Structure 1
Amino acid sequence: MPSSAISPTSMHLPPEIWQNILEEAIYVPQFLDVDPMESCGPPYHLQYFDRGAYWASSGYATICDIAHGNVPVEALPCALRIYFSNCRCKDSSNGSKPFRKHLSRLLDHESAQDDALTPWKLRIVEFSPSYPPIGDFLLEMHRISNLKSVINVPASFMTSAFHLKVQPSFLWALYRLPETFVFPVSALSMVTTLSLSFYAGINALPTHLPALRYLHVMLSPFFPFERVVDWLKVIGKQLRTFYCLGRIRERQLSPTIWELCPSIEILQLSPRIFWVQVPRGHPIHTLRLSPEFDENESNMVCPECGLVHGAMLKLSAPMEDYAASGIRTLACFGPWSKLHTPMVGRADLRGNIVCLSRQARRLGMRFVDFSWVSFEDYVISQLEIGQMTRRKDLS
């Protein structure tokens, strides 16, 4: 901030107020928050996965930075969040070897300590989708005793962590679950947010989830949806957000989703689930739409723009039914930069997304993308970027 922008009065503010101002200016809590859904709300959870603003944060460490010597391995015990990935840069023929070389120095230091090992500050650990086994060194009690949030969770890692009595509150993208995987009864008792993938062979779904409020489920094509319904009969009453992704055959739910989840506020279900009018007093206010399109083979004319769209986004009901049920926001499944471009992987197929956003606005509903940005705000941002680019070119 230039000194000319600071008023004489502000120079005499108490230090406590300056501290609050600076914290708000330089610290975005989502990235280091162990429970972002509860703290910031589901609309902003994507910021939790954006590492761009934190590459220089002293509370954040990546294994690649340590492997390259950019961050000392001694910083790991102080890191609040660690990201594990296999380094594939041209300077490293084997991504794990450089890291293990640095790691041995830290382990030698720990083994030389005579007194009790100091617990690490680690609260959040994130794995790349291709799980590097170098993360297994964390599986010591003093290293993960404060662990509360795990992202892209390999089942093998969590099995060992559960044996060490770790009780996370945020489990995101739990995958590779073997058919015989069984959740320990008390392991998920503190979990408020759970995201996991189900395959046809998994035997037991976790039911002791007293703190769960936010559930994201990815179904394989062969996973029986009836098992999800049975699961919701046990845990559905406590959910505030439920996203269920995956294609299923058309069906009517009995009980209805509103009976299964009487406290749900944000919902995503396949459009193949027949829509049932929301009962009076139900708190649902937002629907997240699934990315299912039908090619417009009959050349139906869009009532909004009068043109023929090559692809039509599938909805579970007419928009008027959503509005009549008290839905105030419709959230899409991707960024506007891609939503208004050709759909279904073919250059000649353009979807009706923008027309749906206009229709929603006319019915008094917000229509936003996956980061909760409206199309109007997106257009304005693009115009501003264009203006700045032209000014830069002219200067």
Structure 2
Amino acid sequence: MIHLPVEIWRHILLYAIDSPSFLFIDPLPAESPSNEAEYWDSERTRNALRRVCSSWNLFLASYKSRFVRTSDVIHRHVPTVSLAYAVHIKVDICTCLRCISFGNDPVHSNRIFQNRILSADTVNDRAPWRVEIIDAQRGEYLEVITSEPRHISKLRAIYHWRGSLPATVFSQSPLSFLVAHADDLARMKRIDVSNMTTLSLYGIQPTHLSLVHFPNLVHAWVQMRWPPLDHLRVTPVLEWLKLHGRRLETFYWSDDVSKITDSDVDKLWSLCPNLQRVQLPLDARWTPPPSSHQLQLVRVEEHDEIPAAACSVCSTLHDYSIQLSDSLGQIAGSSVHRIQASPLVWHERMTYDNEPSVYCFMIEAQVPWNGGC
């Protein structure tokens, strides 16, 4: 019998317990990692493999608690030291009666969480934490975590949705991926952002885009939410693309108000010659990119307008339409391989009984070419 070296067996075991979409940083902009099921499947595999032999058990034991929710730490469902071992920490919002009462007394809530952190550091001998990804839905707990530089020395990605990012995030960790409110840009003016390759900003105002230059940005998602200013909303974005567009492979322009012209779309193609993925403002019309473009994916959203005609698939008039529904043939002619719906979740909404307009759009999108959504 041939015996494989220990190193090869370890590589095989790590491959078997892998959870790439949840424990590794996907460079493409997204709201937050959502595929927890994949991780828990990998945990079941890890626990099964630990029972094979003592050496596998010893090796795989060191990969416990790769993902942790702060609510589980608060409720003592997992050991507090799990925070130090986790590669991915979700600072989540728990809706149980106990946590709701904590929310009414944030000082008490923070004190409890600080005690959990101190316990984790004590058990971990105050060694650096392993966390690389933080999905922060609760700002005050994030401040507690980031108060110690050793907690975030390996941090590379933050998904942040509430409040302002703590200053220590910008000074202690070379982030490569950031989802944050546009107001946080002002705090980044004096720090090194050369590692930042993915940026997703929401709540953008006209002045925000000029605050910081990102020399190595590859993927961007800008969510425009300032009051209607007609074409004044478009110009700042195009000016920003003059600085960053040539390097961009992904540009999602989420905007349901801007009056963007066909010539503006043409400018986008010229400013972003290397785009592979794009989302246009809701009212934009499809203008084909130059043949030299390598565009692979177009992302679309719901449109509140009622379609002008009955659906060609089900012969009824839908309550709303999907962006670029009338341009599917042109998109196919641009050699685009995939259409992605955002913020729609296909597996929840594509059944006919649930959302007929989404279902019909999916069916219609498959007609011009042998692909799919």
For the aligned pair, the TM-score class normalised by the smaller chain equals 0.7 to 0.9
Whether the 8 Å CA contact 1:214–1:241 is kept in 2: the answer is yes
1:275 aligns to what? 286
The reply on whether 1:50 has 2:35 as its aligned counterpart is yes
2:57 aligns to what? none
The reply on whether 1:78 has 2:69 as its aligned counterpart is no
Partners of 2:90 and 2:69 in 1: CA distance = 5
1:264 aligns to what? 275
The reply on whether 1:151 has 2:142 as its aligned counterpart is no
One-letter identity of the residue aligned with 1:213: V
Q: Using a 3 Å threshold, how does the CA distance of structure 1 residues 27 and 140 change in structure 2: closer, same or farther? A: same
Whether the 8 Å CA contact 2:221–2:253 is kept in 1: the answer is yes
Q: Using a 3 Å threshold, how does the CA distance of structure 1 residues 158 and 208 change in structure 2: closer, same or farther? A: farther
Partners of 2:292 and 2:120 in 1: CA distance = 60
Tell me the SS of whatever aligns to 2:278.
strand
Displacement of 1:157 after TM fit? Answer: 2.3
2:197 aligns to what? 192
The reply on whether 1:101 has 2:112 as its aligned counterpart is yes
Partners of 1:133 and 1:306 in 2: CA distance = 51
1:364 to 346, 356, 369: 369
Partners of 2:93 and 2:335 in 1: CA distance = 47
Q: Which piece of structure 1 moves more, 95-104 or 276-285?
A: 95-104
Kindly provide the CA deviation profile for residues 41-68 of structure 1, in whole angstroms up to 9, marking residues without a partner as x.
Answer: 67xx688333344466512222211111
One-letter identity of the residue aligned with 2:19: V
Partners of 1:50 and 1:109 in 2: CA distance = 26
1:31 aligns to what? 22
Whether the 8 Å CA contact 1:67–1:99 is kept in 2: the answer is no
Displacement of 1:231 after TM fit? Answer: 0.8
1:126 aligns to what? 135
The reply on whether 1:332 has 2:341 as its aligned counterpart is yes
Q: Using a 3 Å threshold, how does the CA distance of structure 1 residues 21 and 330 change in structure 2: closer, same or farther? A: same
Displacement of 1:281 after TM fit? Answer: 1.4
Partners of 1:242 and 1:322 in 2: CA distance = 17
Whether the 8 Å CA contact 1:270–1:290 is kept in 2: the answer is no
1:175 aligns to what? 181
Q: Using a 3 Å threshold, how does the CA distance of structure 1 residues 272 and 359 change in structure 2: closer, same or farther? A: same
Whether the 8 Å CA contact 2:246–2:274 is kept in 1: the answer is yes
Tell me the SS of whatever aligns to 2:285.
coil
Kindly provide the CA deviation profile for residues 210-235 of structure 1, in whole angstroms up to 9, marking residues without a partner as x.
Answer: 22111111111526232111111110
Q: Using a 3 Å threshold, how does the CA distance of structure 1 residues 68 and 244 change in structure 2: closer, same or farther? A: same
Whether the 8 Å CA contact 1:185–1:208 is kept in 2: the answer is no
One-letter identity of the residue aligned with 1:265: Q
Partners of 2:280 and 2:370 in 1: CA distance = 19
Whether the 8 Å CA contact 2:87–2:131 is kept in 1: the answer is yes
Whether the 8 Å CA contact 1:319–1:360 is kept in 2: the answer is yes
The reply on whether 1:247 has 2:237 as its aligned counterpart is no
Higher Rg: 1
Tell me the SS of whatever aligns to 1:122.
coil
2:168 to 156, 160, 172: 160
2:50 aligns to what? none
Kindly provide the CA deviation profile for residues 195-247 of structure 1, in whole angstroms up to 9, marking residues without a partner as x.
Answer: 11134365453542122111111111526232111111110111111111121
Displacement of 1:250 after TM fit? Answer: 3.0
Partners of 2:148 and 2:277 in 1: CA distance = 38
2:95 aligns to what? 88
Kindly provide the CA deviation profile for residues 108-139 of structure 1, in whole angstroms up to 9, marking residues without a partner as x.
Answer: 896999xx9532222222211xx341321222
1:6 aligns to what? none
Whether the 8 Å CA contact 1:207–1:231 is kept in 2: the answer is no
Whether the 8 Å CA contact 1:73–1:102 is kept in 2: the answer is no
Q: Using a 3 Å threshold, how does the CA distance of structure 1 residues 219 and 365 change in structure 2: closer, same or farther? A: farther
Q: Using a 3 Å threshold, how does the CA distance of structure 1 residues 270 and 18 change in structure 2: closer, same or farther? A: same
- Written as runs of structure 1 = structure 2, the 5 A alignment for 1:136-147 is 136-137=143-144, 138-147=146-155
Q: Using a 3 Å threshold, how does the CA distance of structure 1 residues 88 and 357 change in structure 2: closer, same or farther? A: closer
Partners of 2:217 and 2:134 in 1: CA distance = 20
Q: Using a 3 Å threshold, how does the CA distance of structure 1 residues 327 and 204 change in structure 2: closer, same or farther? A: closer
Q: Which piece of structure 1 moves more, 59-68 or 238-247?
A: 59-68
1:286 to 297, 307, 312: 297
Partners of 1:132 and 1:198 in 2: CA distance = 17
Whether the 8 Å CA contact 2:31–2:159 is kept in 1: the answer is no
Displacement of 1:187 after TM fit? Answer: 3.5
Kindly provide the CA deviation profile for residues 272-301 of structure 1, in whole angstroms up to 9, marking residues without a partner as x.
Answer: 2233222111111211112114214x5x24
Whether the 8 Å CA contact 1:198–1:220 is kept in 2: the answer is yes
Partners of 2:123 and 2:5 in 1: CA distance = 46
Give me the identity figure in percent.
24
- TM-score normalised by the chain length of structure 2: 0.77
Whether the 8 Å CA contact 1:331–1:367 is kept in 2: the answer is no
Cα-Cα RMSD: 3.5
